[in-house]
Amino acid sequence: MQKHHKISDIGKEQPFKVPGNYFKDLPEQIMEQCQEKEQKRSVVELIKPAISLAAMFIGVALIAYLAIQVIDQPEGKNPYRQEDIAEAEYHDQYYNQNELMEDINGGESTQAEQDSEQTDQYIEYLLNEDIDYTTLINELEEDSRKGKNNQ
């Protein structure tokens, strides 16, 4: 069997083949694809400015809406009214010792408070019975004298 050691012995013939009519049909196939691409590109180029414009309008409208919301906020809906802030500051400032003690004692009233309440009751009784301060002193002095005499 003869051996081929030189490339030139083999020749340049194509050892491959193609399906029948391949080169006849190919130009038409490629042209169809090119037309499709062209149409897609045309549609995109046509609607691109409209989409850009719409996006710009939506952006502007959104910014305007947010700006109006901030500027035109109704007072009742504002969670940070000046009065609320002032009240909060007042409470912070006057959170006094008694309130602190009350909190520590779990809300039980102190002796001083009980005395104060009793005094208020006495004054109210005297007012209701129309007993003035002088009458009361005189009566108390008379009672005191009677007591001494009895002793």
Partner 1 sequence: MHDYSDKELLEMFKESDFKNFAFKQIIKKYQERLYWHIRKIVITHEDTDDILQNTFIKVWKGLDQFREDSKLYTWLYRIATNESLTFLKQKKKRHYIPFMDVEHHLMNTLESDEYFSGNQIQLKLQKAILTLPEKQRLVFNMKYFDELKYEDMSKILDTSVGALKASYHHAVKKIEKYLKDN
Instruction: Name which position in 34, 55, 56, 123 contacts partner 1 (CB under 8 A).
Output: 34
Residues between 35 and 64 with contacts to partner 1, criterion CB under 8 A: 35, 37
Angle at Cα 40 formed by Cα 39 and Cα 43, nearest 5°? 85
Which positions from 63 to 102 touch partner 1 by CB under 8 A, shown as an x/- string? ----------------------------------------
Contact 131, 141 (CB under 8 A): no
Q: Does 12 bind partner 1 (CB under 8 A)?
A: yes
Stretch that binds partner 1, among 14-22, 64-72, 88-96, 135-143 (CB under 8 A): 14-22
User: Which residues touch 98 (CB under 8 Å, ≥6 apart)?
Assistant: 110
Contact 81, 75 (CB under 8 A): yes
Q: Does 26 bind partner 1 (CB under 8 A)?
A: yes
Distance of alpha carbon 43 from the chain centroid: 43
Residue-by-residue DSSP string for 72-108: T--GGG-TT-HHHHHHHHHHHHT--HHHHHHHHTTTP
Stretch that binds partner 1, among 20-28, 79-87, 107-115, 124-132 (CB under 8 A): 20-28
Interface residue list for partner 1 (CB under 8 A): 3-7, 10, 12-19, 22-23, 26-27, 29-31, 33-35, 37
